[in-house]
Amino acid sequence: MAKYDESSIKTLSSLEHIRLRSGMYVGRLGDGKNFNDGIYILLKEVVDNSIDEFIMGHGKRIEIKRDDDGTITVRDYGRGIPLGKLTEAVSRINTGAKYNDDVFQFSVGLNGVGTKAVNALSEHFHAVSFREGKYAEATFEKGVLKKEKKGKTDKYRDGTYIQFRADHELFGDFSYNEEFVLQRLWNYAYLNAGLTIVYNKEKIHSEGGLRDLLAAEVGDAALYEPTHLRQDRLEFAFTHTTNYGETYWSFVNGQFTSDGGTHQSAFREGILKGVNEYYKKNYSGDDVREGIAGAIAIRMKDPQFEGQTKNKLGNSDVRSWIVGEVRLAVVDFLHKHREAAKQLEHKITQNEKLRKELNAVRKESREAAKRVALKIPKLKDCKHHLGDKHKLAEETTLFITEGDSATGSMVASRNVHTQAIFSLRGKPQNMYARKRSEIYRNEELYNMMMALGIEEDVTGLRYNRVVVTTDADHDGFHIRNLLLTFFLQYFEELVVAGHIYILETPLFRVRNKKETRYCYSPAEREAAVREIRGAEVTRFKGLGEISPSEFGQFIGADMRIVPVNVKTIKGIQETLEFYMGKNTPERRNFIMENLIVV
């Protein structure tokens, strides 16, 4: 047993603490495959400071460059960091102007933490500030100051220049996903109308704000001209589409709140109140909001976020003023846009009719399920839910898997407190272009919805992560596509909110008596064979061939999961039609033309 005395007590410097407990500052480290991996948070923290300058009225242009080696350069034309405090501002924790509300009222960056964390977690960090013909610069390696310099210059406009490269020692062999970077930068543009971002010579600019965001995401699928309101503290836009469910993009001080929160709830409530006031009806919230696509952004002092991921706003004091402003704006919009008002009313009455039909089918499905079993068939739940069957927690995961053998290995090796398993009995039906009522008549899909807690509404979701877990063969890929079709067709909001994932499991095991290595690609297998002498190679034909003792590491702390993302929701139906529709000849030709022979 380790000795516990005075020598056990450690005091870490700020730099040591950031590097040792990096997750507290940038969340997960990752290698760039996940939208929330640390390398994107590093970029965010640097750009946030430039955005703050724009918000305060200083500098309308931000230039960003990304090199092939992962080096990021951000140049703004704001006021520049005060020269005498440059080194401290980028390296000393709890140092910064954002503690002063007179200077930064609605900061999007972390108070006194963001840039310091980037510095500490970068193998190279270079900061330069230009102010009134003078400059100061400082260069760091892994947070340690290496060089400082000050002087005069008349060549450069005022502003700040930051260059950094994430530390490979911490982040491993990382790479930036261009789509993730562009999505973040376009969000900055939508949230800050009039700002120009130049990224590797590509211009990113929006004048319409959240209205432009909806146009990019929804496009021609919008049923009527979007409602749009922009004020100092509040901006929102919404329209309806023919898609199922509700889809929102919500932001607080520039941060994307994928799990919504009180501001999003108030937005939804304000829409309902405004609609009912205009039409002088008592429509239900479900009928008013079915098919809605909306975006809301607020700016506030001292936002309080729920959970470790900071993706859900908890402040209750924002509700009343958001509800009031949204209600008034909706009534005003409908009075001024009579054609849009007619289309919205038609959509609501359609939703009413479909909801009544769907409720009848749901009732039949519930009764049928009760007759079959008291418990949900093929669900091995986690202990977290024993106390509260409908409580969603960040750490909970449901694996949707195929076959009893794979299920058996996962059940034996899972974390019983937070990981649940739902086993499919076979291939689910292709539900593309089917009526929503048909998924409730499908026993397998209904059981899965009950397991997830979404048979009534997506707000009942019981697991934060829903992980599709299938074999890495043709049948497995087909099942994966069928499941993704189901979620994208009927529950796209779960995908947009980042709840749906795909589990990566190894294709090969390379081992000898001294070493075992698991490989996720033929390239990794070939490298392992070269490095491990006298190795035997096993090709896993299915998940059922992986023993429980092995499977534990693949769904443990180092689990590889790939989030399912959609570039824009307007492309969902077109993609599903091509891959899952009845255009078999066209799809066959595409496969033949793009077939890769290995």
pLDDT digits (tens, 9 = 90+) for 366-398: 777 665 555 677 889 988 755 554 456 778 999
Res. 570: pLDDT tops 50: yes
Distance in angstroms (rounded) separating the CA atoms of residues 154 and 78: 16
Distance in angstroms (rounded) separating the CA atoms of residues 193 and 58: 14
Question: Reduced to 3 states, what is the DSSP secondary structure of residue 399?
Answer: strand
* Of the ranges 190-194, 548-552, 578-582, the best mean pLDDT one: 190-194
User: For residue 313, what is the DSSP state?
Assistant: B
Please report the pLDDT score of residue 111 as a whole number. Answer: 41
> What sign for the dihedral angle of Cα 570, 576, 582, 585?
positive
* pLDDT average, residue stretch 103-127: 73
Please report the pLDDT score of residue 9 as a whole number. Answer: 46
Determine contact, residues 29/15, Cβ cutoff 8 Å.
no
Do 210-352 and 15-205 fall under one CATH topology? no
210-352 has which CATH code?
A: 3.30.230.10
Q: What helix, strand, coil percent values describe the chain, rounded to 5?
A: 40, 20, 35
Q: Which of 204-218, 233-247, 305-319, 364-378 is least confident?
A: 364-378
Q: Which of 202-211, 504-513, 546-555, 572-581 is least confident?
A: 572-581
Res. 587: pLDDT tops 80: no
H/E element holding 563?
Answer: strand 560-563
Res. 97: pLDDT tops 60: no
Model confidence at 592, pLDDT cuts 50, 70, 90, reads low
Q: Which of 63-67, 258-262, 279-283 is least confident?
A: 258-262
Candidates 151, 239, 224; CA nearest to 248 is 239
Please report the pLDDT score of residue 99 as a whole number. Answer: 41
Res. 542: pLDDT tops 90: no
Q: What one-letter code names the amino acid at 49?
A: N
Question: Reduced to 3 states, what is the DSSP secondary structure of residue 380?
Answer: strand
Res. 350: pLDDT tops 90: yes
Percent of the chain with pLDDT over 90: 53
Distance in angstroms (rounded) separating the CA atoms of residues 198 and 189: 11
Res. 84: pLDDT tops 70: yes
Strands 379-380 vs 247-252: parallel, antiparallel or unpaired: unpaired
**How many C-beta neighbours within 10 Å does residue 537 have?**
14
Please report the pLDDT score of residue 573 as a whole number. Answer: 74
* pLDDT average, residue stretch 108-119: 68
Chain-centre distance for alpha carbon 369: 34
Please report the pLDDT score of residue 100 as a whole number. Answer: 45
Widest CA span of the chain, in angstroms? 83
Distance in angstroms (rounded) separating the CA atoms of residues 94 and 491: 43
Q: Dihedral angle at the C-alpha atoms of 183, 188, 194, 198, nearest 10 degrees?
A: -60
Distance in angstroms (rounded) separating the CA atoms of residues 183 and 169: 27
* Selected residue with higher pLDDT from 255 and 71: 71
Question: Reduced to 3 states, what is the DSSP secondary structure of residue 315?
Answer: coil
Candidates 496, 481, 486; CA nearest to 452 is 486
Beta bridge partners of 61: 196
Res. 417: pLDDT tops 50: yes
Beta bridge partners of 137: 128, 149
Determine contact, residues 138/86, Cβ cutoff 8 Å.
yes
Candidates 338, 263, 249, 368; CA nearest to 305 is 263
Please report the pLDDT score of residue 103 as a whole number. Answer: 42
375-505+542-572 adopts what CATH topology?
Rossmann fold (3.40.50)
Number of H helices, E strands in the chain: 21, 22
Structure tokens at 50: 């430039």
**How many C-beta neighbours within 10 Å does residue 407 have?**
21
Q: What one-letter code names the amino acid at 205?
A: H
Please report the pLDDT score of residue 109 as a whole number. Answer: 46
Please give the mean pLDDT across all residues of the chain. 86
Res. 107: pLDDT tops 80: no
Please report the pLDDT score of residue 483 as a whole number. Answer: 94
Determine contact, residues 474/440, Cβ cutoff 8 Å.
no
15-205 adopts what CATH topology?
Heat Shock Protein 90 (3.30.565)
Distance in angstroms (rounded) separating the CA atoms of residues 297 and 310: 15
Distance in angstroms (rounded) separating the CA atoms of residues 56 and 10: 41
* pLDDT average, residue stretch 528-556: 88
Q: How far is CA 311 from CA 30, 90, 199, 422, 450, in A?
A: 18, 26, 26, 27, 25
Spell out the residues 6+ positions from residue 511 whose beta carbon is closer than 8 angstroms to its own. 517, 532, 535, 536, 538
Res. 529: pLDDT tops 60: yes
User: For residue 225, what is the DSSP state?
Assistant: P
**How many C-beta neighbours within 10 Å does residue 218 have?**
23
Please report the pLDDT score of residue 467 as a whole number. Answer: 96
Interval 337-347: pLDDT, tens? 999 999 999 99
Please report the pLDDT score of residue 425 as a whole number. Answer: 84
Question: Any idea where the domains of the chain sit in the sequence?
Answer: 15-205, 210-352, 375-505+542-572, 508-539
* pLDDT average, residue stretch 280-297: 95
